[in-house]
Structure 1
Amino acid sequence: MGRIILTTESGADLPIDLVERYQIQVVPMHVIMDGKDYLDGELPVEEVFDYHQRTKKIPSTAATNELEYHDLFTKIREDFPESVIIHIGYTSRASASFQSAVIAAQDFKDIYLIDALNVTGGLGAIVLYAATLLEEEPTIEPSLLVEKIESVVPKSRLAFIPGSLDFLRAGGRVSNVAYIGGALLKIKPCIELKDGKLVSTRKYRGKMSVVAEKLMQDYLNEYNIDRQQLYLLYSIGLDDSIKKRIDEIAIEEGFKNVKWMQAGAMISTHAGPGGFGIAGLER
């Protein structure tokens, strides 16, 4: 059996230190501004926010295409001819990226494709679960590893609060009436993944410092998250004092490991500046 290689998209928002540690192959998604296509992961997030400030529009985003997956799989096979590839993909119910991977994979053998039905930290949590298992047991049979990964897909829980209603309005996700009412009342929607789809599940009122703590409490009350690992998500602009308070709560709740993950340019086009989220795997 050859070496097992894990792949995923940039929309998993994996921290670079963990990508390097586990040698995960990350293929970029796309951000489009002023008619120019930028690779997610290479485009500074600040440029997304600057674009919105200048135009009052948000960039559009695009999935990884078939050719990019084909090139990725080809390079892996050139570098590791006997490898087995396990691709853990961005939810197929919010992007065409996974379907592109399915089409590209038809030209290769020994490739397993897993639809994570999740995005950003929810997807990242599944990928890092797989990476940890592989590190602990490098000779694990690919089929067994795939079975274990698929078993945690429905256990990955993601909840986040966009930092700006301006971005939701610019992206057509809220009406002007809802935007005005939300802005006046300081209402912030909570977005979760339900059956692979992004759904607004509840609304919070107040400053992000209050809302973030309330979301943390509600999330931990609703989901029996494994205390071994918690992922905390943020988009640039989230106040450090909020991060500090959330860290304190995580410690109080008994989490052994906590990792902050910054939203990349693609996810930030939807979250806006100062967004906050939580991801983990249920027991």
Structure 2
Amino acid sequence: MRRIILSTESGADLPEDLAQTYDIQVVPMHIIMDGKDYLDGSLPVEDIYDYYDRTKSIPTTTATNVYEYQEFFASIREKFPDCIMIHIGYTSKASSSFQNALIAAEEIEDIFLIDALNVTGGLAAIVLYAAQLLEKEPGIEPEHLVEKVESVVPKSRLAFIPGSLEFLKAGGRVSNMASLIGGLLKIKPCIELKDGKLMSTKRYRGKMSGATEKLFHDYLTEFNIDREQLYFIYSIGLEESVKEQMNEAAKKNGFQHVRWIQAGGMISTHSGPGGFGVAGLER
């Protein structure tokens, strides 16, 4: 029986301990800062925010390129000879990364690619679903696993409040960003993935503590999320009191397991410090 190896990008913000537990391979995306190209994960997120504080310029990000994917897939094959690879990628609607992976895989055998149409915790939720299913059914046929994973792609729901609208604006990835201009200092927009695109769907006013509660309430009202597992996402700077508040809210709503995920460099560059998000799979 051939081994199945899962992979994804750093933009999934997959916690390192879970990546190691399930042997999930992660390829870095890129952060461009002060004319230098850094692999996502190679520098502390605090450096990104310090850079902005010093220069008032926000770093940019770029996708994993075709050559990097070729090297990445080759390294997996070398590490796990005779394996079958399943790559679950960052949404193709907000990055060229998945398209580059498709090009790199053209001449590679025994590889499947799935566009998760999601990012950060929403992408991580899909990858971890695949990993846990593979753990429960180690003999599952790869085609059947791919089918199962593809079926949960539209069920992965992500919503988040960025910590800084200046970072969000500079990132340029929100399709209806123009609708937010004019109230940058007064509102906290809810950003969701709609058909793989980042969209501003709601607006909250007031402190982050109140906005996160409203976001969570609206999220659970709109989506019938499986109570087995919930993912909270945060960028550095979110107050501990907000985390405690949201843990209590999750408990009150019947969630059995809650995992906090720290936004890495790629996502933090677009959301800014002190952001909060929630991700889970619909029943």
Question: Could you list the runs of 5+ residues in structure 1 that have no partner in the other structure?
Answer: none
Partner Cα distance (1:188, 1:169) in 2:
13
**Residue 48 of structure 1 aligns with which residue?**
48
Partner Cα distance (2:111, 2:192) in 1:
29
Tell me the amino acid that sits aligned with residue 26 of structure 1.
Answer: V
Matched, 1:182 2:190: no
Tell me the amino acid that sits aligned with residue 183 of structure 2.
Answer: G
Q: Is the 8 A contact 1:159 1:278 kept in 2?
A: yes
Tell me the amino acid that sits aligned with residue 9 of structure 1.
Answer: E
**Residue 113 of structure 1 aligns with which residue?**
113
Matched, 1:63 2:58: no
Partner Cα distance (1:169, 1:109) in 2:
40
Partner Cα distance (2:213, 2:31) in 1:
31
**Residue 17 of structure 1 aligns with which residue?**
17
CA positional deviation for 1:79: 2.0
Residue correspondence of structure 1 range 219-258 to structure 2 within 5 A: 219-258=219-258
Partner deviation per Cα, 1:226-281 (whole Å, 9 max, x = no partner) = 00100000000000000001000101111111000000011001110000000000
Partner Cα distance (2:2, 2:183) in 1:
57
Q: 1:27 to 1:56 in 2, by over 3 A?
A: same
**Residue 96 of structure 1 aligns with which residue?**
96
Partner Cα distance (2:260, 2:230) in 1:
9
Q: Is the 8 A contact 1:105 1:111 kept in 2?
A: yes
Q: 1:202 to 1:133 in 2, by over 3 A?
A: same
Residue correspondence of structure 1 range 1-283 to structure 2 within 5 A: 1-171=1-171, 181-183=183-185, 186-283=186-283
CA positional deviation for 1:52: 0.9
CA positional deviation for 1:106: 1.0
**If the length of structure 1 is used for normalisation, what is the TM-score?**
0.96
Moved over 3 A (4+): 169-175, 177-180
Q: 1:87 to 1:192 in 2, by over 3 A?
A: same
Q: 1:194 to 1:180 in 2, by over 3 A?
A: closer
Partner Cα distance (1:165, 1:239) in 2:
18
CA positional deviation for 1:179: 5.2
CA positional deviation for 1:178: 5.3
Partner Cα distance (1:118, 1:198) in 2:
9
Q: Is the 8 A contact 2:170 2:270 kept in 1?
A: no
Question: Could you list the runs of 5+ residues in structure 2 that have no partner in the other structure?
Answer: none
Partner Cα distance (1:170, 1:221) in 2:
31
Q: Identity of paired residues, percent?
A: 69
